[in-house]
């Protein structure tokens, strides 16, 4: 009896093993791929089963196929994103993919099992993150198919026998024009209103491109992989605008185009200037884009040599986040929006990100209460914090045209200046806000804190457009991500220097 039972178990186990083998070898073949670790900068060989894709019954194919990894179907982000008529942005500096579709905004971070869907942190199924997979010499950012498709309003049906994922989506008959640049379009917009920024010219000198405007422009910089787009919002090409030739090892050309109201939400006139990168050049390493009071400067340089860094344990660091004002002290107030509320909303999002990364985080206030400036510094000192970051929003009563971000540090603190710059750069890149630079100031919270401390002025409440951004959940999330990225980079860099 016992023996027969054992035999039956063995047969079952064998059958189960056979089934697993049959499942593991998919009908479309197996690929040898390399998995890239964004944090470690290493490739690891792996194998993956090929998955076929269809969209509304038509085959959907890219140079790197969809594949199964860890039980989840991963697809190249650009292939599926563009097929579903979403806008796909790749932010090299932060390893993030931003998909903008009819249903909203999805932000996926490489190697992170949490996505942001309309600003809300959302776990990815089975914890399988967006990841870079290299196949046939091409590196592709791969994203979980079902999660992203459904977030973009498509349905997915899985056919186990053919390893095919069938996507169904209602797509508009005529696809909305993707904001692609048209080469060398001369300006021909009639009757551009006076309030619109004029882009007056472009010149190339000593490895730097200067784009001139008649005032401080509002521009967004987007890393598009083999090219970089600089969008000047509410801007038009001036009558005498002319392009220039570039002669540079990192740039192969520069193009420009005037766009209308259909190009960028909220901007009736947008000038897009596209910098085509030379083979092997990368926006993140070789270009620096700086907004100035009279335009934008783009300089090129060799990529900085980065040392492979020792992993740092986030648990070892305590970060104090200090939302400005509170209670009976609302800070600035414009259009019925109070600074204390903006400061707190951004701070809460920032704290969540830092805690998710494993850091110890303390807030000087987490609700709408008044806390004294000296009390805030005392709290951080008592906690023995490593970093103190105060969050504020700016106001310039008589300059409603002022936009952009400042990060302040105390004049006596070199590490404060380093943290300020570490935050300022990714923060402006991620938000696309005007970079007004870092500044020193003798603020109480910067002077009385014993650790490295900065104060971020996240934008101007006196500028209607920026105020609307600051009051919006999804923009606050971008601000929080930018600041978090800066804090983490700073702590890693300091740990590296100390080692």
Binding site for Zn ion (CB under 5 A): 324, 331, 392
Least gap, CB of 392 to Zn ion (angstroms) = 3
Q: Cβ closer to Zn ion: 232 or 408?
A: 408
SS3 labels along the chain: CHHHHHHHHHHHHHHHHHHHHHHHCCCCCEEEEEEEECCCCEEEEEEEEEEEEEECCEECCCCCCEEEECCEEEEEHHHHHHHCCCEEEEECCCCEEEEEECCEEEEEEECCCEEEECCEEEECHHHCCEEEEEECCEEEEEEEHHHHHHHCCCEEEEECCCCEEEEECCCCCCCCCCCCCCCCCCCCCCCCCCCCEEEEEEEEECCEEEEEECCCCEEEEEECCCEEEEEEECEEECCCCCCCCCCCCCEEEEEEEEECCCCECCECCEEEEEEEECCCCCHHHHEEEEEECCEEEEEECCCCCCCCCCCCCHHHCEEEEEECCECCECCCEECCEEHHHHHHHHHHHHHHHHHHCCCEEEECCCCCCCCCHHHHHHHHHHCCCCEEEEEEEECCCCCCCCCCEEEEECCCCHHHHHHHHHHHHHHHHHHCCCEEEEEECCCHHHHCCCCEEEEEEEEECCCHHHHHHHCCHHHHHHHHHHHHHHHHHHHHHHHHHHC
List the structure tokens of 420: 């300020």
> Least distance (Å) from Zn ion to the CB of residue 440?
17
- Cβ closest to Zn ion, residue 88 vs residue 346: 346
Give the whole-angstrom CA distance, residue 427 versus residue 486: 7
Phi-psi region of 168 (alpha: psi -120 to 50; beta: other; left: phi over 0): beta
Whether 335 sits among the annotated catalytic residues: the reply is: no
For the chain, the straight-line distance linking the first and the last C-alpha, in angstroms and rounded, comes to 66
Residue 369 CB, nearest distance to Zn ion (Å)? 16
Q: How far is residue 76's CA from residue 64's CA, in Å, rounded to a whole number?
A: 7
Q: How far is the CB of 368 from Zn ion (least distance, A)?
A: 14
CB nearer Zn ion, residue 149 or residue 462: 462
Q: Find the shortest distance in angstroms from Cβ 339 to Zn ion.
A: 5
Nearer to Zn ion, 238 or 326 (CB): 326
Q: State which residue, 101 or 331, has the beta carbon closest to Zn ion.
A: 331
Taking CB positions, which residue lies at the least distance from Zn ion? 392
Task: Provide, rounded to whole angstroms, the least separation between the CB of residue 373 and Zn ion.
Answer: 11
User: CB of 462: closest distance to Zn ion in angstroms?
Assistant: 13
Shortest distance in whole angstroms from residue 332 CB to Zn ion:
6
Decide whether 209 or 391 has the Cβ nearer to Zn ion: 391
Task: Single out the catalytic residue among 181, 339, 448, 457.
Answer: 457
268 vs 341, which CB is nearer to Zn ion?
341
Nearer to Zn ion, 220 or 392 (CB): 392
Q: Which residues are catalytic?
A: 457
């Amino acid at each position: 009896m016992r023996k027969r039972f054992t035999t039956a178990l063995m047969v079952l186990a064998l059958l189960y093993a056979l089934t697993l083998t049959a499942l593991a070898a998919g009908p479309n073949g197996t690929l040898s791929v390399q998995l890239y670790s964004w944090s470690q900068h290493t490739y690891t060989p792996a194998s993956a089963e090929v998955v076929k894709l269809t969209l509304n019954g038509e085959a959907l194919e890219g140079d790197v196929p969809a594949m199964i990894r860890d039980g989840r179907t991963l697809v190249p982000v650009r292939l599926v994103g563009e097929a579903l008529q979403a806008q796909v942005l790749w932010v090299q500096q932060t390893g993030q993919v931003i998909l903008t579709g009819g249903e909203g905004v999805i932000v996926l971070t490489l190697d992170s099992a949490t996505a942001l869907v309309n600003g809300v942190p959302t776990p990815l199924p089975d914890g399988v993150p967006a990841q870079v997979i290299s196949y046939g010499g091409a590196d592709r950012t791969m994203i979980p198919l079902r999660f992203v498709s459904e977030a973009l309003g498509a349905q997915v049906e899985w056919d186990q026998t053919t390893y095919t994922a069938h996507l169904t989506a209602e797509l508009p008959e005529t696809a909305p024009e993707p904001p692609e640049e048209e080469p060398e379009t001369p300006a021909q917009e009639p009757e551009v209103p006076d309030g619109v920024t004029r882009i007056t010219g472009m010149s190339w000198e000593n490895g730097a491109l200067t784009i001139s405007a008649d005032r401080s422009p509002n521009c967004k910089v987007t890393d598009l992989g083999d090219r970089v787009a600089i969008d000047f919002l509410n801007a038009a090409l001036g009558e005498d605008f002319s392009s220039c030739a570039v002669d540079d090892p990192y740039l192969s050309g520069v193009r420009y185009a005037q766009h209308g109201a259909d190009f960028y939400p909220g901007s009736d006139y947008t000038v897009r200037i596209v910098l085509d990168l030379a083979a092997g050049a990368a926006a993140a390493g070789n270009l620096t884009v700086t907004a100035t009071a009279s335009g934008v400067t783009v300089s090129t340089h060799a990529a900085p040599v980065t040392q492979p860094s020792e992993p740092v344990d986030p648990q070892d660091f305590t970060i104090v986040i200090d939302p400005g004002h509170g209670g009976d002290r609302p800070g600035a107030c414009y259009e019925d929006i109070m600074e204390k509320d903006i400061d707190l909303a951004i701070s809460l999002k920032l704290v969540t990100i830092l805690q998710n990364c494993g850091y110890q985080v303390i807030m000087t206030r987490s609700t709408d209460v008044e806390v004294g400036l000296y009390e805030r510094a005392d709290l951080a000192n008592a906690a023995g914090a490593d970093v103190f970051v105060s969050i504020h929003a700016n106001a310039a009563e008589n300059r409603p045209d002022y936009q952009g971000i400042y990060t302040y540090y105390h004049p006596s603190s070199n590490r404060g200046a380093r943290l300020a710059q570490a935050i300022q750069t990714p923060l402006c890149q991620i938000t696309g806000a005007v970079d007004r630079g870092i500044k020193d100031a003798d603020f109480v919270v910067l002077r009385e804190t014993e650790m490295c401390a900065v104060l971020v002025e996240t934008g101007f409440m006196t500028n209607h457009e920026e105020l609307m951004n600051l009051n919006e959940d999804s923009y606050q999330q971008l601000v929080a991500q930018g600041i978090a990225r800066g804090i983490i980079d700073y702590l890693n860099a300091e740990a590296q220097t100390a080692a």
